[in-house]
Amino acid sequence: MMEGLDDGPDFLSEEDRGLKAINVDLQSDAALQVDISDALSERDKVKFTVHTKSSLPNFKQNEFSVVRQHEEFIWLHDSFVENEDYAGYIIPPAPPRPDFDASREKLQKLGEGEGSMTKEEFTKMKQELEAEYLAIFKKTVAMHEVFLCRVAAHPILRRDLNFHVFLEYNQDLSVRGKNKKEKLEDFFKNMVKSADGVIVSGVKDVDDFFEHERTFLLEYHNRVKDASAKSDRMTRSHKSAADDYNRIGSSLYALGTQDSTDICKFFLKVSELFDKTRKIEARVSADEDLKLSDLLKYYLRESQAAKDLLYRRSRSLVDYENANKALDKARAKNKDVLQAETSQQLCCQKFEKISESAKQELIDFKTRRVAAFRKNLVELAELELKHAKVEYVSRARWLTPVIPALWEAKAGRSRGQEIETILATTGNLQLLQNCLAVLNGDT
Amino acid sequence: MAAEREPPPLGDGKPTDFEDLEDGEDLFTSTVSTLESSPSSPEPASLPAEDISANSNGPKPTEVVLDDDREDLFAEATEEVSLDSPEREPILSSEPSPAVTPVTPTTLIAPRIESKSMSAPVIFDRSREEVQENIEEEANGDIFDIEIGVSDPEKVGDGMNAYMAYRVTTKTSLSMFSKSEFSVKRRFSDFLGLHSKLASKYLHVGYIVPPAPEKSIVGMTKVKVGKEDSSSTEFVEKRRAALERYLQRTVKHPTLLQDPDLRQFLESSELPRAVNTQALSGAGILRMVNKAADAVNKMTIKMNESDAWFEEKQQQFENLDQQLRKLHVSVEALVCHRKELSANTAAFAKSAAMLGNSEDHTALSRALSQLAEVEEKIDQLHQEQAFADFYMFSELLSDYIRLIAAVKGVFDHRMKCWQKWEDAQITLLKKREAEAKMMVANKPDKIQQAKNEIREWEAKVQQGERDFEQISKTIRKEVGRFEKERVKDFKTVIIKYLESLVQTQQQLIKYWEAFLPEAKAIA
């Protein structure tokens, strides 16, 4: 079953790309436009086709594509992080590793349990899982794309040589993933860094702006983390509730086909309704996931990157102060003064450079964040509304022929009228007319 | 006759009443009910109007004069009281028709109709119902006009001897009750006592007695101990709703409604305590032993099923049971997930509020707080929806699963009855053989004794046969009624449930519509 999904053809059709969750505000201009035009999912890796359109002189052609894998993205990101020159910029966070394990497991379990379900149930579940797989796939493509776009939009980073190589070099970059030794080194580096971070953060900053930003970012980061986790849980429960509708629908269908009285038609219709409901609820949860959870997750990573920037700045501040102290000491001892002076100069320059760009970066970060939240929240609200209305109309449409007949007998036409008015206000005249026709004809 | 008071099911409500009285104990009643229950059949001509027209010359001309637009209807009405509503959709099948062979009753009915039609009813339903009521009250109050409510759970007493008392309110216009509206206080064991009395009287003759709600030691202990948390209030509410449904189902059964024990339960202020419903009492243990014995017996009885209908029905019920159980499991999962969703949404709402607080861009901060509020409201919605899921859908399913168990029990009783009959026949055979032997051996006094015994056993065989026929007939009737009820129940409940879903959607729409401008306002 996995074979069908592996080596799949183009997963991204034109419309799909339009709907991709680009949840950051990307100021792309004509000089350099990057996107992921295609993606292929193989057994344990995903191959992205990175497509570039550029009028910059550095590139040989104006438009070209290369195939890249996730490790190459990580390599690019790490090269930015390690580059001292970029210490003063918020490095766009690396896209998370494509994780299809959970989805694969589920598909496998489905395959094993094939014998115990009815044919319809099996096809339904299979479709569902395939849709899930597709959704995860689309998401990971989107996140890689966002990373590239952010780099392309950044006035300094876009000129990076590694970036150009990444975009243009149409053979394998032979970037190997870090081996065990390197991973261990990384681990220690991180530990040292976080310990250092604690020390460094104890130093009060002279500049109010940065002090404020630091406290803000710290708190914000934690809260975003919390909100992101909770939002995840919420979308997951939403999804399980939607799945339940699926099962209820198939049970009702089974009841309908087996029952002997004419309630069976009723059951079949209800089962259809539940099916439709499930599809809508699944979409609701997927959209929530996209607009809310992904947004929060992205800003979790971005705020971490911003924190990293602040850390680097603080570190350079500490270095600067240390260099000052060393200079004073050297002057006092009158020994190695020149050396101390040059190192102090260097530190001073570095610090000022970082501070300047950091200020701009942080302001940009805020603008981007506000814009992204706005965009996503508006889209979230619109989508929720759309789905709620669709679901409402479909249910009301189902219920209307049934309800007036029942309620008429009980309480006069009032209830039937109510439904009719509601339908009328949602502007569905045709539906209304159908209902009236039904009422006047037979049920 | 229930159909008059409740939204008529799309299809099958009416024939129920008709089948109930098929055994002709009260020909008059049956005719009357059939007549008034066939109103909505679209082709009244199918009913044997010819028979009656001869007798109803009187009322006919009067009616025709009265209501012009109802002309055709009344023309039939005199023949067969088919009060067809022009608005009413032709919902019902014309099933009742075959059995209508009235001759005499019409004369009795005609004056009724006459008096009623004089009042030129505006709301058609009501007039029809009035006519009906009179006819039916005339005919021994066999109408379903009784409303039962169970409310006000109150804790009485303290500690381990505490119990919950529920108020049972009855509103009725039936003549067999002394008042038209009354209420009594009952406790859970009273309900169980009622059920066991009814079961002992009616189950073995083939009536499907609705099962009482189950005992729950854990739940009850929590309540007794006095834990005032949400789970014990939920438990009490669940039980109250279950008791209400139980009583409503019981009174819907026309035969059970007549039972004096039921009447006593509903009416009398003091009820002898049903002690033997306790799980650990002597009676309780006896019940368990009997159940085990029954189970063994069921396996050993091999019945020659002469009637394919029973076999078919039993198979059907088996299937239905399985399906319902599966559905019930899914619905319970839905309830659980819905509760989870509600909890998670609440947590997210709080988290979003905090995020909004820490955000320093004012417009965004406000929008995030608004989002938090919306999510909180949605969480409330989800909770309500979960309750609806549960009380309407899930409980209905579990009720029916228990009801089907009762139906299966009834089928088992029929088997036992057959067994008894078989045994009697075998014994009779043996007695005959014994007699033959006596004849040969020529012992006059023993022969006499043998002859007596033979007569005795012949009577028993006849009785057994009669019992078996009776129970088979009753079961057929009951199963038919059960099916109708089931269809009706399911339809009403599912529709109510879907209505609740629709309402939730409406609310959701409102909330998101309120939020959208806030989101757009982020500058």
Give me the residue label for tokens 């039962």. B148
pLDDT score recorded for residue B362:
85
Residue A415 has pLDDT above 70, yes or no: no
Interface touch B509/A259, C-beta < 8 Å = no
Rounded average pLDDT over A275-298: 82
Rounded average pLDDT over B329-354: 88
Comparing CB atoms, the residue among A216, A373, A405 nearest residue B364 is: A373
pLDDT score recorded for residue B428:
87
The residue among A39, A47, A42 whose CA lies nearest residue A20 is A39
Interface touch A273/B512, C-beta < 8 Å = no
* CA B363 from centre of chain: 57
Q: What is the least distance, in Å, from the CA of A439 to any CA of chain B?
A: 8
> Could you tell me the pTM of the whole model?
0.69
Residue A152 has pLDDT above 60, yes or no: yes
pLDDT category of residue B83 using cuts at 50, 70 and 90: very low
| pLDDT, mean over chain B | 70
pLDDT category of residue B272 using cuts at 50, 70 and 90: confident
Measured over all CA atoms, what is the biggest interatomic distance in chain B, rounded to whole angstroms?
Answer: 119
Q: Which of A55-69, B147-161, B346-360, B489-503 has the highest mean pLDDT?
A: B346-360
Residue B47 has pLDDT above 50, yes or no: no
Per CB-CB distance under 8 Å, the chain A contacts of B363 are: 370
Q: CB B14: neighbour CB atoms within 10 A?
A: 29
Per CB-CB distance under 8 Å, the chain B contacts of A234 are: 341, 344-345, 347-348
Per CB-CB distance under 8 Å, the chain B contacts of A267 are: 490
Q: Which of B61-70, B243-252, B269-278 has the highest mean pLDDT?
A: B243-252
Interface touch B368/A373, C-beta < 8 Å = yes
How far apart are alpha carbons A189 and A197 in whole angstroms? Answer: 12
Interface test with B, best of A237, A264, A425 (most B CBs within 10 A): A237
Task: Note whether B288 contacts A: Cβ–Cβ < 8 A.
Answer: no
Interface predicted TM-score (ipTM) of this complex, two decimals: 0.77
pLDDT category of residue B23 using cuts at 50, 70 and 90: very low
Q: Which two tokens stand for residue A406?
A: 């029942």
Per CB-CB distance under 8 Å, the chain A contacts of B7 are: 405-407, 409-410
Q: Which two tokens stand for residue A169?
A: 């070099």
Query: In sequence order, what are the beta bridge partners of A31?
Result: none
Residue of A nearest to B362 (CA): A370
Amino acid residing at A85? D
Over the stretch B160-196, which tens digit does the pLDDT of each residue have? 777 888 888 888 887 777 888 888 888 888 888 888 8
Over the stretch B288-301, which tens digit does the pLDDT of each residue have? 777 777 777 666 66
**Segment (H or E) for A37:** strand A32-41
pLDDT score recorded for residue A101:
78
Interface touch B486/A263, C-beta < 8 Å = yes
Q: What is the least distance, in Å, from the CA of A84 to any CA of chain B?
A: 31
Q: CB B347: neighbour CB atoms within 10 A?
A: 19
Residue B44 has pLDDT above 60, yes or no: no
Phi, psi of A334 (to 5 degrees): 55, 50
Could you say which DSSP state residue A98 is in? P
The residue among B86, B92, B119 whose CA lies nearest residue B36 is B92
Give me the residue label for tokens 């419309």. A15
The residue among B81, B41, B78, B45 whose CA lies nearest residue B63 is B78
- Reduced to 3 states, what is the DSSP secondary structure of residue B148? strand
* Residue with the larger pLDDT of the pair A218 and A437: A218
The residue among B361, B348, B367 whose CA lies nearest residue A224 is B348
Interface touch B490/A277, C-beta < 8 Å = no
- Reduced to 3 states, what is the DSSP secondary structure of residue A185? helix
Residue of A nearest to B317 (CA): A259
Rounded average pLDDT over A337-357: 86
Over the stretch A70-103, which tens digit does the pLDDT of each residue have? 888 888 888 888 888 888 888 888 888 887 777 7
Cα distances from B498 to residues A273, A386, B333, B490, in angstroms, run: 10, 19, 18, 12
* CA B238 from centre of chain: 18
How far apart are alpha carbons B372 and B382 in whole angstroms? Answer: 15
Rounded average pLDDT over B16-44: 37
pLDDT score recorded for residue B110:
38
Residue of A nearest to B487 (CA): A263
- Reduced to 3 states, what is the DSSP secondary structure of residue A49? strand
Residue B121 has pLDDT above 80, yes or no: no
pLDDT category of residue A126 using cuts at 50, 70 and 90: confident
Per CB-CB distance under 8 Å, the chain B contacts of A373 are: 364, 367-368, 522
Q: How far apart are the first and last CA of chain A?
A: 45
**Burial letters B167-199, b for 16+ CB under 10 A, else e:** ebbbebebeebeeeebbbebbbbbbbbbbbbbb
Q: What is the radius of gyration, based on Cα positions, of chain B?
A: 30
Q: What is the least distance, in Å, from the CA of A191 to any CA of chain B?
A: 28
- B212: left (phi > 0), else alpha (psi -120 to 50), else beta? beta
- Please check whether residue B281 is in contact with residue B251, taking contact to mean a CB–CB distance below 8 angstroms: no
The residue among A81, A79, A72, A95 whose CA lies nearest residue A24 is A95
pLDDT score recorded for residue B499:
80
pLDDT score recorded for residue A421:
54
Per CB-CB distance under 8 Å, the chain A contacts of B88 are: 408-409
Phi, psi of A48 (to 5 degrees): -100, 140
**Segment (H or E) for B117:** helix B105-117
Per CB-CB distance under 8 Å, the chain A contacts of B368 are: 373
pLDDT score recorded for residue B97:
38
Residue of B nearest to A245 (CA): B334
* Residue with the larger pLDDT of the pair B114 and B291: B291
Query: In sequence order, what are the beta bridge partners of B169?
Result: B149, B183
How far apart are alpha carbons B393 and A251 in whole angstroms? Answer: 14
pLDDT category of residue B19 using cuts at 50, 70 and 90: very low
Interface touch B348/A233, C-beta < 8 Å = yes
Residue of A nearest to B321 (CA): A255
pLDDT score recorded for residue A1:
34
pLDDT category of residue A30 using cuts at 50, 70 and 90: low
How far apart are alpha carbons B10 and B15 in whole angstroms? Answer: 12
Per CB-CB distance under 8 Å, the chain A contacts of B495 are: 399, 402-403, 406
Q: Which two tokens stand for residue A346?
A: 């260097």
A399 HSE (CA, 13 A, CB side): 29
Per CB-CB distance under 8 Å, the chain A contacts of B502 are: 392, 395-396, 399
Interface touch B490/A266, C-beta < 8 Å = yes
Interface touch A405/B10, C-beta < 8 Å = yes
How far apart are alpha carbons A338 and B513 in whole angstroms? Answer: 69
